[in-house]
Structure 1
């Protein structure tokens, strides 16, 4: 009987100990979430200054700084179609380095040989922030011969020479998006690639290139002057800010996959879950401010995304599967 009582006491003690441990772990996680950040936070972009993503980061940084009571520094680390900046974040060990990335942070896994990291396992999705609008646009000089996307496609076939796309690299999301669309469009073209979006835009206005895939916010100042002419929205519906620009379906009867450009926050693998939750919660709170949200959406011609670490990770997996299949169809091989 004494042995049974002792065994029962040990079980009670173990249960109490496990309960105490669980409470301790929960308290520790809560404390870690509360204490972070303990030093300046860096938001890294794998693109040059002046882009839409760069503008977004510099709008968000002061808002997060006010919440975190630490400096929030925006760093641009462009190069190798986004690989340089992404790898910098993957290798960061300070616990205070974030990536504000796009598809270009993930796609190199399938488009580049010798990649020294795996973005699908070495990055932790925290929160998708924006879904950007995208248009196909030409320049004013080319528009004299092609006022519609259908005309532009016909022009590309006129003399057998084709047209030039203002691109950002063979594995950039802009170049790949148009390669996907062109399965149905059938345009004859070659890409001329630039190191940053500002140079690509400038090449279009100079007629060094004849068309571009871009976010309207990046080229909108040229619409009023006629230097750049939007021809089609890469969307199922016309954009509110460009009501006269037809969708791809309206312009040429396009029925295929519509690539989506997004941006969101990532952290390196191994970042404590409590910190991921803290960043997600605070970013959500920033964009819950209606005035700020409207300001961002208007300035960047984008829509704030409803997101969480779990939904963002799920969307990336689903989208990655679609891109992989399309790469096979297009016979795009790692370079």
Structure 2
């Protein structure tokens, strides 16, 4: 009996020591420069957000914060590097698709994103905007669905938000289009502008200036709500496909080994940087809605969207090995 009590006492003491250690870890973090590995090229929403909050994070953390772009393979290049990081000072910036879509599409990654990475916070939500070159004559979703299967559409790359939003749309409308992938949404938009490709479901912050200048025709947005910057453009759901929602999130992720106390500290400091009136206004100009979700909220949404995009991947039989 005494041995049992002694064991219980030892376990309680160990638990208390670990509980005390967690806040201490958060208080001393960061102890060296922090690297934000961006999974898409400069100028994409996640990269822009990281660079906008960089000064505030440096001030809060009293350490340099470096943004390092490592685009490729739908975010998997950067994700793989962060997943294998050996310290708590290397974080991943990119769309939530790294955790919600890529595991369904890529079978030979060499790492399991959902086991080796975890979301720390969602920076902001964003949508895709279905745009067409004016020469196509497409200005409504009904007209888009009447295009022949030979019509081409541009995306920012296989498995990216623009690709998956379009695949969800094609499945919902029972239509087919020919996919032309690019290395990032900027290049995709340029070829739709030039008329080399008919249409594209491209992140709204990239195509917004071209829509406003009437060089591209906006047809619909992918999220549940209309864009506050282009309120006349309907959602896909409003255009006859109730329940359609392809909302995405620019996300801060970390190696799964990151202690919870440090994750909470990072989320708190990021949210503080994101929610100033000036930052909200700057992101709103790019059609980005500030989130700043907790690690727990982010993990819950990630699980839900992983299930949703799994259905799309199975319906379309997409494989990107």
Q: Same fold judged by TM-score > 0.5?
A: yes
* SS of equivalent residue, structure 1 residue 236: coil
* Aligned-pair CA distance for 1:308: 1.1
* 2:157–2:184 contact (8 Å) kept in structure 1: no
Match of residue 197 from structure 1: 185
2:271 maps to 284
Change (3 A) 1:13 1:95: closer
Match of 2:224 in 1: 236
Separation in structure 1 between the aligned mates of residue 104 and residue 13 of structure 2, nearest angstrom = 46
SS at match of 1:34: helix
Could you tell me which residue of structure 1 aligns to residue 80 of structure 2? 87
Structure with larger Rg? 1
* CA apart distance, 1:110: 1.5
Deviation at 1:23, TM superposition (A): 4.9
CA distance in 1, matches of 2:227, 2:156: 24
Q: Contact 2:34–2:63 (CA<8 Å) still a contact in 1?
A: yes
Quote the Cα distance in structure 1 between the aligned partners of 2:301 and 2:290. 15
Poorly superposed stretches of 4+, deviation over 3 Å:
10-15, 17-27
Q: 1:264-317 deviations in whole A, cap 9, x for unaligned?
A: 111112122221121112112222323322322x13202112521112111111
Which residue is 2:287 aligned to?
301
Alpha-carbon RMSD: 2.4
| Residue number in structure 2 paired with 1:125 | 119
Q: Judge conservation of contact 1:181–1:256 (CA < 8 Å) in 2.
A: no
Q: Which runs of 5+ in 2 are unaligned?
A: none
Q: Which residue of 1 aligns with 2:109?
A: 115
Distance 1:176 1:114 in 2: 19
Quickly say closer, same or farther: Cα 1:225–1:92, change in 2 above 3 A. Answer: same
TM-score, normalised to structure 1's length?
A: 0.88
1:301 and 1:81 map into 2 onto residues whose CA distance is 22
Which deviations, in whole Å up to 9, do the C-alpha atoms of 1:135-172 show, x marking residues without a partner? 11112322xx2232222322x13xxx631111122322
Structure-2-length-normalised TM-score: 0.91
CA change 1:45–1:37 in 2 (3 A) is same
The residue aligned with 2:58 is 65
